[in-house]
Amino acid sequence: MANLKELSKNPERLTGGHRLCAGCGAGIVARQALIAAGNVPVVVTSATGCLEVSTTIFPYTAWKNSFFHSAFENSAATCSGIETAYRSLKKQGKINEDIRFIAFGGDGGTYDIGLQSLSGAMERGHRMLYVCYNNEAYMNTGIQRSGATPKGAHTTTAPAGKVHQGKEQNKKDLTQIMIAHNIPYVAQAYVGNWNDFVTKVQKALAIDGPSFINILTPCRLGWNYKPEDTMSLARLAVDTCVWPSFEVENGIYKINVTPKEKKPVVEFLKPQGRFKHLFKPENAHILESIQKDVDEKWGLLQRRSAIGC
């Protein structure tokens, strides 16, 4: 596990004073990922999204390391191109430094319009870490639903009303899609447990190959909760098994955080305004469906972890 005393000696590469919302988890994700890298030089690429627009408002930047912003859909492709150029220059003897590469993207730029770019980078085997800060919708452009938006959530493009009760489809399981690429390291993490996330970033950066971390990152605007509840809400996602914390290293599953007492899903849903319509009597069947889906997926993860597949 990560050592807090040692981490405190590492450089801060994301400054304060950026313009992310109060209570936003994206800045926490970026800051902790870069602290985990230690003193090794890091090149960051970022898809268009909350993290990028709030940290690079011209003529200012919150990044103290090399930073490259590309289009919404190609953070992974950009990072893989830079990593390839680095390997070439190092082979030619023009660079001697040991450099790490981290690509950031929100769920819109990762689950949806960036999926092809991400899949190609992982399949080619570039030594890079892709971090998806997953706030479960296109928050930067108006809270539109994404492939990561959970069933029943209210968004501007899948609203709750007389005809529909929020998004009607289950969210895409991108973590399993990444596992299917047979890359060395894939993990799920969550804002609210720095040790879990930092340890996973350190593991990922140490691997000579591609790695992927999908971190649940509550959005106080799109999820509609109090800004100070970001950490506790993310922990509730784990305690209810809505968002399990686990890793798959060379094909071997390991659950990192097992709830002492598995809580019902409604405890995670109730504090969020995006789910308030589900608590009407006529929508009880949707809550039952969500609970059943969570239970089935948690059981499957437990079986995979138990047999070491």
- The token pair that represents 15 in the structure block: 């400054």
Confidence of residue 309 (pLDDT cuts 50, 70, 90): low
Mean pLDDT in residue range 164-172? 97
Can you give the residue range of the structural domain that contains 183? 4-307
Reduced 3-state DSSP string for the chain: CCCHHHHCCCCCCECCCCCCCCCCCHHHHHHHHHHHCCCCCEEEEECCCHHHHHHCCCCCCCECCEEEECCCCCHHHHHHHHHHHHHHHHHCCCCCCCCEEEEEEECHHHHHCCHHHHHHHHHHCCCCEEEEEECCCECCCCCECCCCCCCCCCCCCCCECCCCECCCCCCCCHHHHHHCCCCCEEEEEECCCHHHHHHHHHHHHHCCCCEEEEEECCCCCCCCCCHHHHHHHHHHHHHCCCCCEEEEECCEEEEEECCCCCCCCHHHHCCCHHHHHHHCHHHHHHHHHHHHHHHHHHHHHHHHHHHCC
Q: How many domains does the chain have?
A: 1
By the 8 A CB rule, do 129 and 197 touch? Answer: no
Given a cut of 80, whether residue 34 has pLDDT beyond it is: yes
Domain of residue 132, CATH code: 3.40.50.970
State mean pLDDT over 237-248. Answer: 98
Asked whether residue 256 carries a pLDDT value surpassing 70, the answer given is yes
**Percentage of the residues of the chain whose pLDDT score is greater than 70:** 99
Q: Say if CB 189 and CB 257 are below 8 A apart.
A: no
Q: Summarize the confidence of residues 5-18 as an average pLDDT.
A: 88
For range 19-23, the mean pLDDT: 94
The predicted model gives 283-287 an average pLDDT of: 97
Geometric angle at alpha carbon 177, from 172 and 178, rounded to 5°: 125
In the prediction, which pLDDT does 1 show? 76
Q: How far apart are CA 31 and CA 13, in angstroms?
A: 7
Mean pLDDT computed over 142-150? 98
State pTM to two decimals: 0.97
